[in-house]
Chains A and B, each alone.
Chain A
């Protein structure tokens, strides 16, 4: 019995002619684990919310959505509330009650269960979620991960058959996210729960999902098992789609697509070329992806393995999704990748154009690598910006540390060399605690950031990352220690009057909503200019607006623009002050891979204009691809502050998935950029 049958659904929001969902047809079987991915604004959330009547947005819906054979609209309210559970993105705003216990009982109370029955259900639920230790705590004492776990548990108290999750881990740190996702997989496997999840953190979800649905512009662009999806997306060769693959699968798909060569893994007696064409053609021909629904019914049982299915399935089985599988695959194609790795490095180093491909011999097939080397981006599937990556490759090849390219497109090595550059920011022995009797958040922490650098700081939740940034930004005052910017010591807040030195530091918090105090974007910007004492014409406003693609939003309310635009608006407000040092708190949180890539380009651009960047993040892949130096905050101190390459190579857990898979096989392989893939 199908959980959901979605047929030819079109949807538009009120007052808008634009269709947000276009002819979406999807059938979700009971017990499936469906991963919805796609760029922001592709209609993931809109689609997901249509599946839960109580959360469905206002608007005009065409087509039909049936739940368990019945139209969703005619489902009795009680059944709808009990059988379909939904968890939203923001852990905080979903919570209603003030203690954990009350929140767990909330849903059951709504449906009028007697106290004894509630007690009974919670008695079973609480140990399953491991919440015994904090059952009677106040909600505001919990961490973000615990809050989201609580939200899930509260929904699960109704014993739903279907669970819908709208980017549930977007606001969580990786450890909490992994724990949350692990729990989902348990619910799916042990209780046979149908799960539909939209998420950007697909590295962990891809191997768990039974099906991946890629949405683009409100249409279903791909609807297949994870391995098939990896093959199909790889074959399609579009960069936007490729970014939605986990990096291991993407490495495989791109290498495959470039090389089109037979691999050790290939099931014998199969012509890869033709298989590949066969696989990729339907997706290419019809982006709407009318993937035959029928095939799903038949492959229900063999979702993961697909051994008995013909060639395509057999091939799909060889797609590595996890680090473990990636390792096995890498061992088989080590030599090929090694040459490609060396090639991507040396070609960029020598700056050769076309001839490089000849020199490369048998790896000439790696189109992306060649394109990167010759700098003729656009001819290959790789997009602009890969020159920077090849510079990173150079750095690796020549052994010099921490000299990734500054701006996309400029291949000359204008990156600062670490030893001689003057330190822009210097923190010496900072000590900070939030209260007299509370633990030290920063414990004699010292840090130097050089002019023109892009530095990333990692650390677990509560390691003091945000506190450190706020101290530097002047929002908090350390109890001891000194912070100096460009040799000038930053005074205490009350003494600095016009706060000259502080205004040279810009701080972008995690939540952009904190910056919006006006009713339109335009007046918000006016206010900022007035405070800075700048004339509109003399300010960098126009230039920045263009750079951040924020034109034409003057009359909109800051809350009505998209999340990505909100973040950029906050960035714009900060950048108007023309800071020398830009502090970023988790800039990639909740962003889809495409937006991350664009943000990286943007930050590179800002840096090339002379701004030094210091960010705290959980996003290892992002930092590995773009930053110069990385450090780890641990126990209030800096542990390890190295060039990004050395840092990632030294780390065992805190490093990229590609690095974890490549390990000692290909020690120089850190990111896909090293292979010449953008």
Chain B
């Protein structure tokens, strides 16, 4: 995705996800948790139509279910006893706590799925390069080796097949022995190539001074705007939570869900925070749809 939220400067995206992930962990208030869950699912849907989420949601659900079931079985805290299992009291509070905790977990995992979509490895590198150019460089060089070695391996195996060393019906032991030969050839070949790479790097001035980074993408006006909005609404939510607003207590007895005037303000700013990427993406989508229908 090249437009909308994902097109923001990686630093802004990073700030957003840092806040979002900490909120997932901080909030236990059912209302806020419900909103978070809806928002992170919505974010995934608007990013790639939920394709990445669909692949992993099964595992997440199992984990959440596990927490939901196990918590009341192991924790007997709380005043309202529902029934007994193996002489242990199952309380309403621990059931609710298990539910809230599993939803919180679910939010965290789904938020991570969205993070992977927005901050792909290239962008993470962009984030890293101004701070640690050497590390970023090492990572880039290493990343090139994965497809490179795969291709070399394939080339060697092609030759070995043609020589009749690899056949489909060969035994496991023989296969392992042949694979060792392949690896041996791969390592020698790669070392040989590495010597040439080194000469080429030296020729282009590698190692004569401190490296700079060409990847210094500057933050544009929109980035700053979003950044400020994030700082206001996100900061408000964070400070509010630290000051005790929406600090929901399950034990010893479920707290009623009453809202104070301050609570409403806090809720509003948190909802604004959650809605921000969705609004950005949808605005862009509508814009394109509008253009298309006008053509």
Q: Find out whether the CB atom of A140 lies under 8 angstroms from the CB atom of B151.
A: yes
Does chain B have a CB within 8 A of A93? yes
Does chain A have a CB within 8 A of B87? no
Find the A residue at minimum CB distance from B211.
A109
Find the A residue at minimum CB distance from B181.
A517
Does chain A have a CB within 8 A of B184? yes
Residue among B196, B200, B204, B212 with the most chain A CB within 10 A? Answer: B204
Question: Closest CB-CB distance, B136 to chain A, in whole Å?
Answer: 10
Does chain B have a CB within 8 A of A474? yes
Does chain B have a CB within 8 A of A129? no
Find the A residue at minimum CB distance from B142.
A98
Does chain A have a CB within 8 A of B141? yes
A93 and B211 CA atoms in complex are apart in Å by 21
Chain B residues, Cβ within 8 Å of A115: 212-216
Does chain A have a CB within 8 A of B147? yes
Does chain B have a CB within 8 A of A652? no
Known contacts A110-B211, A112-B212: does B148 contact A140 (CB below 8 Å)?
Answer: yes
Does chain A have a CB within 8 A of B163? yes
Question: Closest CB-CB distance, B266 to chain A, in whole Å?
Answer: 41
Q: Find out whether the CB atom of B210 lies under 8 angstroms from the CB atom of A90.
A: no
Does chain A have a CB within 8 A of B63? no
Q: Find out whether the CB atom of B214 lies under 8 angstroms from the CB atom of A81.
A: no
Q: Find out whether the CB atom of A155 lies under 8 angstroms from the CB atom of B214.
A: no
Q: Find out whether the CB atom of A470 lies under 8 angstroms from the CB atom of B151.
A: no
Q: Find out whether the CB atom of B196 lies under 8 angstroms from the CB atom of A90.
A: yes
Does chain B have a CB within 8 A of A312? no
A448 and B208 CA atoms in complex are apart in Å by 58
Q: Which of B22-30, B45-53, B186-194 lies on the face that meets chain A?
A: B186-194
Size bin of chain B's contact surface: 35 or more
State how many residues of chain A have any CB contact under 8 Å with chain B. Answer: 66
Known contacts A98-B143, A513-B192: does B200 contact A93 (CB below 8 Å)?
Answer: yes
Question: Closest CB-CB distance, B1 to chain A, in whole Å?
Answer: 16
Residue among B155, B199, B203 with the most chain A CB within 10 A? Answer: B203
A494 and B141 CA atoms in complex are apart in Å by 39
Does chain A have a CB within 8 A of B239? no
Q: Find out whether the CB atom of A97 lies under 8 angstroms from the CB atom of B140.
A: yes
Chain B residues, Cβ within 8 Å of A154: 204
Binding site for A on B (CB under 8 A): 140-141, 143-144, 147-148, 151, 155-156, 158-159, 161-165, 167-169, 181-182, 184-185, 188-189, 192-194, 196-197, 199-216
Some 29 contacts from A to B, beta carbons below 8 A apart, are: A55-B203, A85-B204, A92-B193, A97-B141, A97-B144, A107-B205, A109-B211, A110-B201, A110-B206, A110-B207, A111-B209, A112-B210, A115-B212, A115-B214, A151-B200, A470-B158, A473-B161, A475-B162, A493-B161, A496-B167, A502-B164, A507-B159, A509-B155, A513-B189, A517-B182, A518-B184, A559-B192, A573-B163, A574-B163
Beyond contacts A96-B200, A106-B206, A559-B192: 19 other A-B pairs, Cβ-Cβ < 8 A, are A55-B199, A78-B205, A82-B205, A94-B197, A97-B140, A98-B140, A106-B204, A107-B205, A109-B212, A110-B205, A110-B211, A111-B205, A113-B212, A139-B144, A155-B204, A474-B162, A513-B188, A516-B188, A517-B182
Binding site for B on A (CB under 8 A): 52, 54-55, 77-78, 81-82, 85-86, 88, 90, 92-98, 102, 105-115, 118-119, 122, 138-140, 151, 154-155, 158, 470, 473-476, 493-494, 496-497, 499, 502-503, 507, 509, 511, 513-518, 531, 559, 573-574, 577
